């Protein structure tokens, strides 16, 4: 079996080192043959940098690296000059963005025996393109164009400053058209007010393109073909069938969707899964979404399942006051759940890895605890339910509210209860439906253990008996009457005076 290319984003290193490569060259060939200027947005660690590196070697004419791949005998392999700028390697945090860009351009120029004389960043960029074009039209490859903005989302003045620098830098691309053979730009988000999106009227955004949907990421077929031996080995080791193992892999890691069509795997998660041989949080753990979670808490957004958003909203992001749905979608924490209807998209978590991890962060955030406390606290809740110990369950539930600041509790009493409750119950991992305060006629929570079903209704400032009466009146328990388990209706009163459960009542159905 070939080695797993974890963390390898250089196509030359990958091919020379005999690492596994999922052949995307047929789509790359179609990309080059059908247009000139492209933009592709995908979440971090989704394969964008490897794609850009592959394009680089292709335009440099290094045919030997493509031996055995689809494109080997279908490309003209005429070498030409390439400008490859990877913003994740520039070191702008240490020396500033302008200086980092200047040094990058200088380095590329020196490789080709060119001396740049213009000041700033935009003019040397134009100077470099024009000088290289003397050897042939230039392939321009810019990877992670927005990283100097993304890295400073929680420092707005610096993000705005970097945006203006990039706007000036990218403005050169439009006038460089006579000198360019091809241009490909990647990023995580599509920020408005960055020149590439309104200066380049011939820039094709293929983020939601059906044709190029699988240009990065792994399809189900690619997973089953390229990892076949590893899948069989892992299934044998775990004692389950190949089909059952594949179903678990799909639940955990599949689900990213930008077109409403084929769903994809994040390569980073899959590669790490097969290396470790166990289901863990891999992608999420590499970049805690501190800014996103802060935004969600400030807006009291905790129900992230089945969110609706218009196509215009999702198309780009404002740096100032970004919409949380667009931000979550473009950064990969939410994805499309199906085909859009009337240009309205429905968003939700792509898979179990992202859902569990985000809910842990949200539970900590809304309970105002340090990161990492959600899982142990929720595990204790789960154990009390599995033991059918409701008194201890409510005692443990009270402890989740203890760290909420008094001021926040007074201002957001009902929202504070619901936010912590929703994220905690959604994390339980039992058979649970949680529809908190949606007004759609569902019980607040229906929790099913091996032996019991609890139909719960939560009230703030109303009696447990009123909550139970609502369960009876709306017949929340009716669907479970034939179940071979004990069914309990549970009415809960949350206090408006102190942070916790004031009273609760239950009755068996």
Angle at 466 between CA 465 and CA 472, to 5 degrees: 85
Question: What pLDDT was estimated at residue 46?
Answer: 95
Give pTM, 2 decimals. Answer: 0.91
Residue 191 · residue 163 · CB < 8 Å: yes
Could you tell me how far CA 88 lies from the centroid of its own chain?
18
3-state secondary structure of 152: coil
Question: What pLDDT was estimated at residue 460?
Answer: 92
What is the CATH topology of the domain spanning 11-205? Rossmann fold (3.40.50)
Residue 360 · residue 375 · CB < 8 Å: yes
3-state secondary structure of 419: helix
Question: What pLDDT was estimated at residue 439?
Answer: 43
Question: What pLDDT was estimated at residue 438?
Answer: 43
Same topology, domains 11-205 and 369-508? Answer is: no
Question: In the β-sheet with 307-310, what is the strand arrangement from edge to edge?
Answer: 307-310, 344-348, 335-336
Query: So where are the chain's domains?
Result: 11-205, 231-366, 369-508
**Beta bridge partners of residue 7, listed in sequence order:** none
Contacts of 298 (CB under 8 A, 6+ apart): none
> In the CATH scheme, what architecture does the domain 369-508 have?
3-Layer(aba) Sandwich (3.40)
Question: What pLDDT was estimated at residue 496?
Answer: 92
Separation of alpha carbons 488 and 507, rounded Å: 6
Question: What pLDDT was estimated at residue 436?
Answer: 45
Query: Which DSSP state fits 450?
Result: S
Tens digits of pLDDT across the chain (509 residues): 899 999 999 999 999 999 999 999 999 999 999 999 999 999 999 999 999 999 999 999 999 999 999 999 999 999 999 999 999 999 999 999 999 999 999 999 999 999 999 999 999 999 999 999 999 999 999 999 999 999 999 999 999 999 999 999 999 998 999 999 999 999 998 887 777 777 777 889 999 899 999 999 999 999 999 999 999 999 999 999 999 999 999 999 999 999 877 899 999 999 999 999 999 999 877 777 788 999 999 999 999 988 998 888 777 788 888 899 999 998 999 999 988 788 888 999 999 999 999 999 999 999 998 877 877 888 888 899 889 899 999 999 999 999 999 999 999 998 999 999 999 988 887 667 665 444 446 778 888 888 888 999 999 989 999 999 988 888 877 777 677 888 899 999 999 999 999 999 999 87
């Amino acid at each position: 079996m070939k080695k797993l290319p974890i963390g390898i984003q250089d196509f030359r290193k990958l091919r020379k080192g005999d690492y596994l490569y999922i052949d995307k060259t047929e789509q790359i060939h179609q990309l080059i043959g059908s247009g000139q200027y492209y933009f592709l947005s995908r979440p971090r660690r989704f394969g964008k940098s490897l794609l850009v590196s592959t394009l680089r070697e292709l335009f440099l004419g290094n045919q030997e690296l493509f031996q055995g791949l689809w494109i080997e005998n279908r490309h003209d392999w005429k070498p030409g000059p390439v400008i490859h700028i990877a913003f994740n390697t520039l070191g702008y945090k240490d020396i500033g963005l302008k200086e980092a860009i200047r040094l990058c351009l200088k380095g590329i120029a020196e490789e080709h025996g060119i001396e740049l004389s213009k000041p700033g960043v935009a003019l040397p960029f134009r100077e470099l393109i024009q000088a290289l074009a003397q050897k042939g039209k230039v392939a321009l490859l810019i990877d992670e164009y927005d990283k100097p903005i993304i890295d400073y989302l929680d420092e707005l003045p610096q993000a705005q400053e970097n945006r203006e620098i990039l706007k000036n830098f990218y403005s050169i691309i439009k006038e460089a058209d006579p000198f360019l053979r091809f241009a490909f730009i990647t990023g995580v988000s599509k920020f408005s007010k960055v020149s590439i999106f309104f200066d380049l009227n011939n820039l094709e955004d293929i983020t939601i393109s059906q044709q190029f949907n699988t240009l990065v990421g792994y399809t189900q077929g690619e997973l089953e073909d390229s990892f076949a031996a590893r899948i069989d080995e892992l299934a044998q080791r775990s004692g389950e069938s190949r089909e059952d193992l594949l179903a678990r892999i799909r639940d955990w890691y599949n689900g990213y969707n930008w077109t409403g069509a084929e769903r994809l795997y994040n390569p980073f998660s899959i590669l790490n899964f097969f290396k470790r041989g166990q289901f863990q949080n891999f992608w999420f753990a590499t970049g805690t979404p501190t800014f996103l979670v802060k935004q969600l808490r400030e807006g009291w957004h905790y129900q992230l399942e089945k969110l609706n958003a218009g196509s215009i909203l999702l198309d780009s992001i404002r740096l100032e006051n970004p919409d949380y749905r667009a931000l979550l979608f473009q950064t990969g924490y939410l994805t499309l759940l199906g085909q859009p209807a009337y240009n309205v998209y429905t968003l939700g978590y792509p898979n179990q890895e992202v859902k569990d991890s985000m809910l842990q962060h949200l539970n900590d955030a809304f309970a105002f605890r340090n990161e990492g406390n959600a899982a142990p606290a929720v595990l204790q809740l789960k154990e009390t339910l599995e033991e059918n110990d409701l008194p201890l369950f409510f005692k443990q539930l009270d402890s989740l509210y203890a760290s909420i600041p008094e001021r926040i509790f007074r201002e957001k009493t009902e929202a504070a209860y619901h936010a912590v409750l929703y994220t905690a119950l959604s994390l339980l991992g039992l058979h649970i439906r949680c529809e908190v305060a949606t007004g759609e006629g569902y019980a607040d929570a229906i929790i099913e253990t091996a032996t019991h079903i609890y139909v719960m209704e939560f009230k703030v400032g109303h009696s447990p008996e009123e909550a139970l009466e609502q369960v009876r009146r709306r017949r929340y328990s009716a669907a479970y009457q034939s179940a071979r388990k004990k069914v309990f209706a549970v009415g809960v009163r949350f206090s408006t005076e102190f942070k916790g459960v004031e009273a609760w009542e239950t009755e068996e159905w």
